[in-house]
Structure formats: C-alpha cells, structure tokens
Amino acid sequence: MRKFRICFSPDLLQLYSIKNTIVIVSDILRATSTMTAGIGTGLKSILPVASVEECHTLGQKGYFTAGERGGIKIPEFDLGNSPFEFMEERFKGKSIAMTTTNGTRAISVAEEAQQIVIGSFLNLSSVAQFIDSQDLDVIVLASGWRGRFSMEDTLFGGALAEQLEGKFDMNDGDEVLGACELYKNAKSDLLGFIQKVGHYRRLKTQNLDRDFELCTTIDKFEVVPTLIGNEIVKSE
Amino acid sequence: MRKFRICFSPDLLQLYSIKNTIVIVSDILRATSTMTAGIGTGLKSILPVASVEECHTLGQKGYFTAGERGGIKIPEFDLGNSPFEFMEERFKGKSIAMTTTNGTRAISVAEEAQQIVIGSFLNLSSVAQFIDSQDLDVIVLASGWRGRFSMEDTLFGGALAEQLEGKFDMNDGDEVLGACELYKNAKSDLLGFIQKVGHYRRLKTQNLDRDFELCTTIDKFEVVPTLIGNEIVKSE
C-alpha cells in the first residue's frame, strides 16, 4: 500500500527517503496559498528562488519579482507575498520569480522527490484527487518557521490525510496521527484556530485579515501547481 | 517572563538556545519512565551512555548494565528497558549504566543546558513543581523516534504545559499549542490513546501491557531525577 507521511520541518526531511515520492509543500501563511491563488487565476508560472539576489537578477531578465523576509515585502520587488497580489489581472499569463522565508526553502530541500506539488487549503481537494490518481508514496512537507514546527502547515497535512483515509498506509510515524488530531480540533473554525498560532501573531500587525481569511478557505481553486523543471506551473 | 518551549526532536534542538535553560527529557516508552521508576524506588544512580560498547565497559567496572536497541533488550546486559526491572529490590542503592535507542541520545544532545531533568508521566507534578521553583527557561525535549516526532513524548510536554499555564511564556513557536491540543484529546484515556502510536505498535508483540499501563500512570513517584556530572540521581 502506498505510504502517506507528514514531515514537520524541512530540517527533518533527511530522515525520510523521498525518491519515488510526491512531496506536497505546505506553507499556508502564505507562500503556497499565494502560489495556488496565482496559478489558479491564470498566472503562467512561478519560479521559486532561495535568495533575494537571485530574484533580483531574474527581475532584470523580465520576470516580475515577489517576496518577503520575516513576513515583510522586499521593498524593491514588484510584489510581496499576498495571494491577492498574485491574483491581479495584470499578471495573467506572466511569470513571477519569488523568494520567501520558509516556503521556497522547503521546495529546494525536496528537490530529489519524483514530483513536487504546491498544497494549501485553497486547493485541498484537487491535491487529494491528484495524489490519489498517482501510484506513488506521498510526503506532506510542512515548511515550518525557520526549521521549527508550524501549526497551520501541519493542519493542512491533517486535512489532506482526512480526505485520503483508507487509500494510503498512514502508520509510518506519529506525524499523521498528530496532524489529524489537531485538524479535528481546528476544522470547525479554522480561521479562529489559526489566530492562536505563532505566525498569525507575527503577521497580525500588518493588517492582513483578508489574507488570513482567504488562506483558510477550502477548495476555492481547482488547480494543482506542480514544479516542472524549475518553475511552478498548472499541472495538465 | 520565563519561557516554556517544547522541542519535538533531538534533531531540532540546534534551533533553540539552551544555555541557562532546564531541559526536561521525555522518552515515555520507556527510557525516562524507567529512569523515574528506578530512582523513585531507591536506585542510587543511572549513567546514560550512547553506545552498547561503553555500557559493556562500565559493566566490567562494576555497574549493572541495561539497555535496548529497537525496543529489544541487549542479550548480554543485566536488564532491558522496563521500569519494573529497574524497580527490583536488588538494585536499591546500586548504579546502572544504561543505553537506549532514543532517550540517551536526547540527554547527550542537551549537554549544554544549565540542568537536565528526567520527565515522565510518573513524576509529572514533581517535575512541574521543580521547574516552577527555579528561575530558568524550560525546554521539554521529546526524544522522538530516530529523530522523528513521537506522540507520547510530546503528550508529556502538553501535560506539563497544562500544569504550568500562566507561570511561563508559552508563545515561542507552535509546539506548546500543538502538544496541549493533543494532550486535551488524549488525557481522558491516556493508555487508550497511546495504543494508536507508532512505538506502541513496535513494542506490542513483546507483551508489555504492564509497562504501557505504568508508563501512562500519572504521579506515581515524587522524584525529580537530575543529571549531576554524568549520572542521573535524585534531586535534593
């Protein structure tokens, strides 16, 4: 039976074998929610890069530039890390180079995976259907906060596990059990629960209520953004 | 305000600063439960060591030897890793050298801490009172399973946090929130909940029901085993 596992931090991914595996990257506040919203509204591609400098260089080559450090938009860039920015009409059919504190790092540590998929509450069911249609093991990689456990990224893993119960062996490790128990407590009021987490406290001074609401909305987009080469595009 | 944090794996401890901190090591099934039971019934000291070879050498110097690998007793040793073995009358006043898969490793990665304390459900309230009486930050270090998240070790962190609510700042990271939510779900039937975890499945063929029951018993011992030098002894 195919395995479904969750990894709580990019710093722990070395403990998993990820070859022949689909890695679903989860950075709910806000990188993977933003990527989902962008690709879901017609953005052509997103090129995730690790450093501000790389992003800047791509900007000179014609990419739009997006990103944050510590939740704050990088001043000289075209966009920050808000899903609403990526949904703007002017980016339809365009490509954005993007760097974020945790999300792009999670993507880069997973590079040996068979496939890397962008997951968020916004495309929960689409991701579930996609991975169920493949014949591969799955790891949800929670992007975390500077290597540490992040509640909201883990809750997404629990939500995905709930949708796929019975279809995968979920008993390798305790992470899936943990994520499912947490999601059970959170799901009746996901937005309210998210207001208890550390990253909400870090961001709340920035007046992002609209973002928090969108990032905890389930199944707004039917899209499975996938890394092809070095760009995230809509999976065909 | 003093900080109370939880670390989900020895592999993540490098992300925390642990100087001037009390680290509470939690390896519920079974290393720290066994240490608590031993010290709680009159064992003089436990010398935790990383390797089977070191333990063997100490055996030749007069220590009793104890330990397991993958949950199985090391054949040539005097004892395995069961709390009932450590509670035997013949070890009163004696010293045991001990090596386990995860617990002794967690102790060794925490060596820069101001103080290392052995925590388990068996001495939950004693540990809570002890750390409340000190003027130091606290980290509960879940020993995990080969570096990965372990439910039962994390539940102990949640139980301890519940006892100390309001006395520490618990908002650094999401681990405490996660552990408290999980403990909320588990506490009405801790033994039943533990039967869902990976390490229970690994051990259950070994007929350890008595051990599982003891390891989920709260406050059986009023003792705070503490690392002094390289030995775990009863804190005065």
Shortest distance, CA A74 to any CA of chain B (angstroms): 24
Strands B72-73 and B64-69: antiparallel
pLDDT of residue A70: 76
Per the document, the length of chain B is 236
Shortest distance, CA A174 to any CA of chain B (angstroms): 6
pLDDT surpasses 80 at B24:
yes
Is-contact B29 B215, C-beta < 8 A?
yes
Mean pLDDT of B36-42: 98
pLDDT surpasses 80 at A217:
yes
pLDDT of residue A165: 97
B15 vs A contacts (CB less than 8 Å): 11, 146-148
Mean pLDDT of A165-174: 96
d(CA A58, CA A61): 5
Facing residues of A45 across strands?
A95
Average per-residue pLDDT for chain A: 95
Q: How far apart are the first and last CA of chain B?
A: 26
Query: Domain B4-234: which CATH class?
Result: alpha beta
**DSSP, res A110:** T
pLDDT of residue A140: 98
Is-contact B101 B6, C-beta < 8 A?
no
Question: B205 falls in which pLDDT band (50, 70, 90)?
Answer: confident
Q: Is A201 on the interface with B (CB under 8 A)?
A: yes
- What's phi and psi for B186, nearest 5 deg? -95, -25
pLDDT, one tens digit per residue, over B54-66 is 999 999 999 999 9
Question: B104 falls in which pLDDT band (50, 70, 90)?
Answer: confident
Mean pLDDT of A96-105: 88
Place of tokens 């270090």: B141
pLDDT of residue A189: 97
pLDDT of residue B145: 92
pLDDT surpasses 80 at B180:
yes
Helices (H), B138-174: 151-164
Q: Is B195 on the interface with A (CB under 8 A)?
A: no
Share of residues in chain A with pLDDT > 70 (%): 100
pLDDT, one tens digit per residue, over A175-211 is 999 999 999 999 999 999 999 998 888 888 888 899 9
pLDDT of residue B95: 97
pLDDT surpasses 90 at B102:
no
d(CA B232, CA B234): 7
- Cβ contact B177–A171 (<8 Å): no
pLDDT of residue B3: 97
B139 vs A contacts (CB less than 8 Å): none
Average per-residue pLDDT for chain B: 95
pLDDT surpasses 80 at A10:
yes
- What's phi and psi for A115, nearest 5 deg? -150, 145
pLDDT, one tens digit per residue, over A141-159 is 999 999 999 999 999 999 9
Residue ranges covered by each domain of chain A? 4-234
pLDDT, one tens digit per residue, over A12-53 is 999 999 999 999 999 999 999 999 999 999 999 999 998 899
Q: How far is CA A226 from the centre of its chain?
A: 11
B151 vs A contacts (CB less than 8 Å): 174, 177-178
pLDDT surpasses 90 at A105:
no
- What's phi and psi for A59, nearest 5 deg? -60, -40
Share of residues in chain B with pLDDT > 90 (%): 87
d(CA B201, CA B203): 6
Beta strands in A27-73 (DSSP E): 45-48, 64-69, 72-73
